[in-house]
Structure 1
Amino acid sequence: MDPNELNVMLNLPCLKGRIGDWFYYCSTMSFCEIAKRVKLPVEIDKKYKDPNLKLGEWIQRDIENGRIEPIANYLLHQNERFFNSIVLGIYDGEPSWQEFDIKISESTTDNQLTEKDLRHFSQTFGILRLSGNESIFAIDGQHRVMGIRKASIENSKKFQYDEVSVIFIAHKTDENGLKRTRKLFSTLNRYAKPVNKGEIIALSEDDNCAIITRMLIDENNYLKNKIAINKNKSISQNNSIDFTSVIMLYDIVFKILTNNNIVGYGGLVKGRDKTSYTNKRLSDSEIKSDYKIIENLLDKLITQIPVFTNFFINNNTINREDKSSSLLFKVIGQNIFFDVIKASINEDRIDQTISFFISHDFSLNNPIWNTIFWDNEKQALNTDVANQKYAKILFFDKLNIPTKKTSKDLEIQKNFNLSL
């Protein structure tokens, strides 16, 4: 064993429970103790000489470093922080469980607890004692553990009173034990249901894009009652009254305000850091300022581009099934259009870009877009990603916006041989 192991006793108040053939212990651990005691499987491997004991090879997926920084930032900057329980595997050392002996005072006259209740409570409440020599690893919640560790290193004083709920299970390193823990890990990750994007937009108070999206839906005179609130990014062909979906509106806000990469664009994208902007809430004044950027841009687009004016101001409906309908009312066209808009803002060419779209027919009646996006055989829209990128590059070239073309892009450009 590593001579630098903790060897520090830790007593944790616990509830003992059972589900199926697993016994588990529910408690809380301070951030400091999580950071010190909970290891990655590959870190535990280094403690042993046994070449057959390689937790890192079987127990968990690879750590995604890109997920740790946002978690640490969330903890460091969010006062209303909260985590759900972390499931911890524990073996080695000398963990012990001591039940409480619960009794009712003889002076109690109104005892509502039966002997069966008292026996159950005594068997359920207790203390889990850790010697400090245990090997503890996250079966579910490894990225949260690493986020806690990183945040604690950066500012341990901030988290001196923070605790997280933990669930301990006993892990054994024999063949059956390995199979049981591996199966549990697989089950936890298979049946865990991640929060979908629509729920994030509806609920998040940390994602500034989500907050601004909700503000636009509630407060913007143009968008009010013209956004489809559904779980999908796409919008029904039969929908004639909504501009776009709530998820696409979120993506538009994200495109305009952050430094997210624009495929096919050759310049450096300016804007808020895309990671921190969607994980750390800004001040109310900063949010209002960013909201105003989006609102002013929408006002400029809606009042100048005729198809937008007809829809938003003149209240014309949309026939999305008609080829004459502008692609600006389809998700594929909105993705392209708002990437072009963001790149033109980057290059200080927004007025030239709007002027071009004022007179441009961005519909399938235009032979260029019909060639690129219409599948005659299937009689349906072709949403191939490479074709969308080619469309953006056509706009960039027309508007003198720098491009970044791969050999495949050049091949597609040669095959289509089109220009605006």
Structure 2
Amino acid sequence: MGYTFAALRGRMGSTEYYQATVKARELAAVAMMAAELPQWTTWSVFERFQRDLAQKRVEKDIVPYLVRTKDRFFNSLIVLVYGPDVFEFEAIADRASGLPRAYRSVAEQMGFLTIDGGSLVVLDGQHRLAALRGVTTAGPELSGDYVDAVAEDELSVLFIPHESFEKTRRIFNKVNRYAKPTSPTDNIITSEDDGAAIVTRWLVEPSPPLALSGPLPPLNASDGSGEPLVEWRQQVLRPEARKFTTLSALYQMTQTILIADGITGFDEKHMVNRPSDQQLSRAYAFVADWWHTTLTQFTPYRRAIARPSVLPDLRDYKAEYSLLFRPIGQVAFMHALVGAVRVGRDLVQALEFAEDRSWSASDPLFTDTIVYANAHMATSDYAVRLAGRLGTYLIAGDLLSDREIQSLEADLQDAKGNSAFRLPQ
């Protein structure tokens, strides 16, 4: 079957390519993954050039994004034209005589690309192709405001002729190696659909969002040198940094704090589209009030915010509250406070109880939760939540059931590799 596309011809290095727009329905019908080529099973590992498809990512992330998002957008897919009978580009300049000189050079790049026979193999974008197939061939079981509209989307496609396996592998490798994904911090800063990210940004802004009269953003403060107190350029804090926390950790804490108000799944992965202003206002007010209470009622935080110059010392491994001045420890602490509030302890009282406990990274109690024996921090979600449960026990253990305490103790024994470990009374 032959296809003709209006296209632009370009060249980078030794590779000539052709850019065209193709409707999603058509692309989903004619393009394929490399593994679907009849020759795929007979090729050696040195001839294969594409990774296995992560079907879960397609179903859980990309398909919902397509069918629920009005402002959906993809970057160009790269399609390898493998073994065609005809691969021909006819420039407009070849057919139109008498063009002005200014138009002629452009007309040599514009024209029509004809492909007949062979296979159109997606070299970069196989997960997007799988998602497009899932949407354009879906039955009534797939729901979303834009299920039917996706098929008519016009996608940017770069067609590249297959010359050799070596060159094809090289292109695939370089496209993926140098295509640096956005960092978690970049996503927090730029997302306009992730409710937790939006609220997190508002916490450090100069004034309340959405024309609200309050509460004021609780973390709009300086580190003493004119820089924000919340580190947003990097994922981690340098030992000498006069920063209170990182934007990434603040985002995680926002999600945790919202649980205390019964708000879950407020991120883009679960909601896909931006929450309403009413939902965002409620979420912001709750989280901002929580932070105002924490920063004023918890003495170590109150003093640190007032004198950012002491923050490096407060993070020191053996300092009394050092865990609570390290981003991962802060996330665990918020889990602890939310856990205490959910079992009936008032936040102010929970903070008072917390002041009377040791939160040093050097305390053996926390070893093998979020602190390794070598003093490095553990970052897994399980480690953070385990430390949070331990923190809840320390400030609200009298409100926990015997079953909850026994479960926590058993999990700590397992984490520490010590069946004789016992929780402090």
TM-score grouping bracket, smaller chain normalisation: 0.7 to 0.9
Q: Which residue of 2 aligns with 1:330?
A: 326
Q: Alpha carbons of 1:51 and 1:75: their partners in 2 closer, same or farther (altered >3 Å)?
A: closer
Cα deviation code 1:335-372 (max 9, x no counterpart): 32122234445555564644421432423586756998
Deviation, 1:393, is 4.6
Distance 1:371 1:95 in 2: 63
For residues 349 and 315 of structure 1, the distance between their equivalents in structure 2, rounded to whole angstroms, comes to 30
- TM-score relative to the length of structure 1: 0.77
Change (3 A) 1:291 1:178: same
Structure 1 unaligned segments of length 5 or more: list them. 1-6, 260-268
> SS at 2:111's partner residue?
strand
Give, in whole Å, the separation in 2 of the partners of 1:258 and 1:26. 47
Question: Secondary structure of 2:114's partner?
Answer: strand
Q: Determine helix, strand or coil for the equivalent of 2:157.
A: strand
Question: Offset of 1:36 from its aligned partner?
Answer: 1.3
Question: 2:166 matched to 1:169?
Answer: no
Which residue number in structure 2 is paired with residue 318 of structure 1? 310
* In 1: Cα distance, 2:37 partner to 2:341 partner: 50
Which residue is equivalent to 1:142?
126
One-letter code aligned to 1:61: R
Q: Partner of 2:356 in structure 1?
A: 359
One of 29, 35, 40 as aligned partner of 2:22: 29
Aligned-partner residue type, residue 249 of structure 1: L
Say yes or no: does 1:129 pair with 2:114: yes
2:196 aligned with 1:209, yes or no? yes
| Alignment match, 1:264 | none
Identity of aligned residues (%): 24
Shift of 1:13: 0.5
**Contact 2:196–2:267 under 8 Å retained in 1:** no
Counterpart residue number, 1:60: 50
Q: Distance in 2 between matches of 1:318 and 1:31?
A: 57
The answer to whether 1:230 aligns with 2:227 is no
Q: In structure 1, what is the equivalent of residue 31 of structure 2? A: 38
Q: Distance in 2 between matches of 1:70 and 1:56?
A: 31
Which position in structure 2 is the counterpart of 1:419? 424
Deviates more, 1:286-295 or 1:359-368: 359-368
Structure 2 unaligned spans of 5+:
209-215, 223-228
Matched, 1:85 2:70: no
Q: Identify the residue that residue 151 of structure 1 maps to in structure 2.
A: 135
Q: Which has the higher contact order (CA 8 A, sep 6+)?
A: 1
How many matched pairs?
Answer: 384
**Shift in Å at residue 167 of structure 1?**
0.5
Verify the 8 A CA contact 1:40 1:138 in the aligned structure 2: yes
Point out the more displaced range, 194-203 or 143-152: 143-152
- Per mean C-alpha deviation after superposition, the further-off stretch among 397-406 and 288-297 is 397-406
Q: Conserved in 1, the CA contact under 8 Å of 2:413 and 2:419?
A: no
Change in 2 beyond 3 A, CA 1:192/1:112: same
The residue matched to 2:180 in structure 1 has which SS? coil
Q: Which moved more, 1:358-367 or 1:122-131?
A: 358-367
Give the deviation of 1:142 after TM superposition.
1.5
Aligned counterpart, 1:286: 279
1:129-163 CA distance string (max 9 Å, x none): 244x5422221112222222333334553125421
What amino acid maps onto 2:328 in structure 1? I
Q: Matched residues in 2 for 1:258 and 1:139: separation?
A: 42
- TM-score, normalised to structure 2, is 0.76
Alpha-carbon deviation of 1:27?
0.7
Instruction: State how far apart, in whole Å, the 1-side matches of 2:108 and 2:52 are.
Output: 38
**Whole-angstrom CA distance in 1 between matches of 2:370 and 2:5:** 62
CA contact (8 A) 2:85 2:118 kept: yes
3-state DSSP of counterpart to 1:337: helix
1:265 matched residue in structure 2: none
**Contact preservation (8 Å) 1:97, 1:126:** no
Amino acid at match of 2:359: F
Quick one: distance in 2 between partners of 1:200 and 1:35?
Answer: 29
Letter in 2 for 1:137: V
Q: Give, in whole Å, the separation in 2 of the partners of 1:342 and 1:57.
A: 53
Distance 1:396 1:56, change over 3 A: farther
The structural deviation recorded for 1:305 is 2.1
Paired position in structure 1 for 2:337: 341
Does the CA contact (< 8 Å) of 2:25 and 2:152 recur in 1?
no
